[in-house]
Amino acid sequence: MAGTEPIPARIHVLIARAAPYALIIRRGPSKHVCTIGWNLRDDTFQLGQWLKGRIYEYRCDLSPDGRHLIYFAMNGKWESDTKGSWTAISKTPYLKALGLWAKGDCWNGGGLFADDRSYTINGARDHEMLRTPPGLVHNDNAYAFHGMSECPGIYFTRLHRDGWQGDEPSRFRNIDNFDKPVSADWFLRKRFHADTNHPPGKGVYYESHALVHAHSMHEIACPKWGWADVHKNHLLWAADGKIFRGQINSEGQLDEQELTDLNDMTFEPIAAPY
């Protein structure tokens, strides 16, 4: 439609639990997605690989050391070896599969790392193993995923594991709330929405965020933040296709720094160095 504002790049970030490393999943246009490594020590970035398809960001995870990624993807090539959708394990920041499991639909899929060398696949019995990742083992008992087959079951498990306090998955709520301390005075509130009538540029599942005063419960809405987290008392967030770092003082003033703009990126074929 003429005059419609372009939709900024959609961004989700995975933060390693035991290393100063994160992986950005950057989507846009809707059928193009890439991964980008983020060194949290010096805020430098390394492009990984592009995929013509979809990565389901809420079903992904990093190993604690940040060296491996588990992800669920779909390209709709239903007659291929991966059956059009698959779970894979790769070396960050790349997507080339070390471990590969064909799925064939978009129920379940993805997984979580229990530690640096073991992982759990969401709905492992519904996959067909094509390639076993060397040096890694599957642990079927590490996570239960709350018995849900779509994104909340695995994402909420990851949020709870990584220090967020909040709701257990429910099939009857449209919004689930999760909180994480930023300082003695403030915490970050993440609202996870499940809504078929979603805003433009959002999917059925999306997030909104606010900063909440720990004592007065006064709330500062952050309507442009599509993803946000806390790392070593710093706020990290994505807004308008850009990545930011900042801190909030006791009065609620936010000191922010733009780290990178990921909007002007286009697909390019990149070979993984392994």
Higher pLDDT, 198 or 100: 100
Q: Give the tens place of pLDDT for each residue, 167-200.
A: 666 655 788 999 999 999 999 999 999 888 888 8
Tell me which residue range forms the domain holding 189: 10-261
| Residue 88 placed within a domain | yes
Model confidence at 115: pLDDT above 80: yes
Q: Quick check: is 268 in a domain?
A: no
Q: Is residue 118 part of a domain?
A: yes
- The total of structural domains in the chain comes to 1
Domain assignment present for 137? yes
Q: For residue 147, what pLDDT is reported?
A: 52
- Does residue 240 lie in a domain region? yes
Please give the mean pLDDT across all residues of the chain.
93
**Within-domain flag for 211:** yes
Confidence of residue 2 (pLDDT cuts 50, 70, 90): very low
Please give, one letter per residue, the 3-state secondary structure of the chain.
Answer: CCCCCCCCCEEEEEECCCCCEEEEEEECCCCEEEEEEEECCCCEEEEEEEEECEECHHHCEECCCCCEEEEEEECCCCCCCCCCEEEEEEECCCCCEEEEEECCCCCCCCEEECCCCEEEECCHHHCEEEECCCCCEECCCCCCHHHCCCHHHHHHHHHHHCCCEECCCCCCCCEEEEEEECCCCEEEEEEEEECCCCCCCCCCEEEEEEEEECCCCCEEEECCEEEEEEECCEEEEEECCEEEEEEECCCCCEEEEEEEECCCCCCCCCCCCC
**Using one digit for the tens of pLDDT, what is the confidence trace for 156-165?**
999 999 999 9
Render pLDDT for 18-28 as a digit per residue (tens, 0 to 9). Answer: 999 999 999 99
Residue 273 resides in a domain: no
Domain-embedded: residue 1: no
